[in-house]
Every structure is written in structure tokens, then in C-alpha cells.
Amino acid sequence: VDSALSSPLGPPACDKDAKALQFIEEITRNAELVQERVLAEILSRNAEVEYLKRYKLDGATDRDTFKSKLPVITYEDLQPEIQRIANGDRSNILSAHPISEFLTSSGTSAGERKLMPTIKEELDRRQMLYSLLMPVMNLYVPGLDKGKGLYFLFVKSETKTPGGLLARPVLTSYYKSDHFKTRPYDPYNVYTSPNEAILCADSFQSMYTQMLCGLLDRLQVLRLG
């Protein structure tokens, strides 16, 4: 790989990995500047949302103004706004972009899972984050692009809020999205489990089928997860 694309982390396995490692290096080397830029983009995009207007941010996008005017809060402080969205209020309460669904926490508060509103473009960021895993692993473990991986991937139950938005765990959201179901071929992510087995809502049957597929492909299995 061309030295211009080399990373301080180590020699990349291919051009695609080199670009991913270069991206990691750039955003971590300049973390403070990157965070200031991201904050400014978020505040600029959401300048007219109800929550920011409540604290009279008045379009400011700098860190100092943000820190001085917006308090540190807990989930419970935002719960009334989240409940309004869950009940069907489509006004710009917390985001200038439409809320596409709720991601649920793995734990519970007083017996109820926390609801975290999300937007469609968040799936793109999530997929980009997942794509950075293999380039780093390839620096230390050779041959990950060979054979198949026996990975047990599961979806969990989902519900709908009174306003009709789905509420489900983050990985369930990802596995049920087109980002996962129509993902391009990637030799590093060839699984023995077909999508149909992964997306089976019955966890017992899903486990059974994924194990069976793994046993059938046992001579090609080089990775477990």
C-alpha cells in the first residue's frame, strides 16, 4: 500500500483499510477541533428546535455559550419531551429532523426501558462506525478475510409507541435495516448465518438454525463471535 496512505497505527492490509485508518488518525489527532465542529453543526442545524430555544441560545454555536446556557441533565429531565414525541407530537421538540424511531436501553428504570429518539441518518453514522472495526483488527490478526464467521446475531422484540413509532434495541434496528439486509459483499463479514435466521424473532429457533448452519459450514469456519 502506498506510503502516503500509511497510518501510525501500522501498515494497512489494503487501500480500503488505509483510508479507514487515516480517518481514525485524523479525527483522533484533532479531537478537540473535531468535537467543536460537530457541536457547531448540531447547534446550527437545530437552532430552531423547542429545547434549545427554551434556553435562549439565540443561534450561538460555540462551546462556551453552549456550556454557559444549557444545564447538565438526566434522562428524567427530558422524559416529558420524549413522551410527547412517543405520543405522536411531530413538532421540532428535540431535533430539526423527523424522529424515525426510538432506540431502547438494555437496562430499565423503574421497570421501563429508556427511549432514545433517533433520526434516519444515524444509521449511516452507525454503519460507518462498524466499518472501522476490521481495518484495526487486520493490523493484529492476519487472515480475517478468509473462510466464514460463525456469529450468533439476534433480533429482540420491538414495540410501537402510542404515536406509531417503533421502539427497539439498537442492534435490532440495524439488523432490520436495509443497511444490513442489502449490505454489499465484504470478505471480512461473511457469516454462516443467513439473514432469515438472524431475523427470526423466536430466539430458540434462531439459535438452533444459526448453529445448524455453522455445523454445515464447519470446515470453512475460521472465526467465532
Predicted local distance difference test score (pLDDT) of residue 188: 86
Cell numbers of 10, please? 501500522
pLDDT at residue 195 in the model: 96
**Mean pLDDT, range 23-37, rounded to an integer:** 93
Q: For residue 1, what pLDDT is reported?
A: 47
Instruction: State the chain's mean pLDDT as an integer.
Output: 92
Examine the pLDDT at 219 and tell me if it is beyond 60: yes
Higher confidence at residue 1 or residue 57? 57
pLDDT surpasses 80 at 6: no
Task: Quickly state the pLDDT bin for 220 (edges 50, 70, 90).
Answer: very high
Query: Taking the domains of the chain in order of start, what are their residue ranges?
Result: 12-72
Check whether 124 has a pLDDT greater than 70. yes
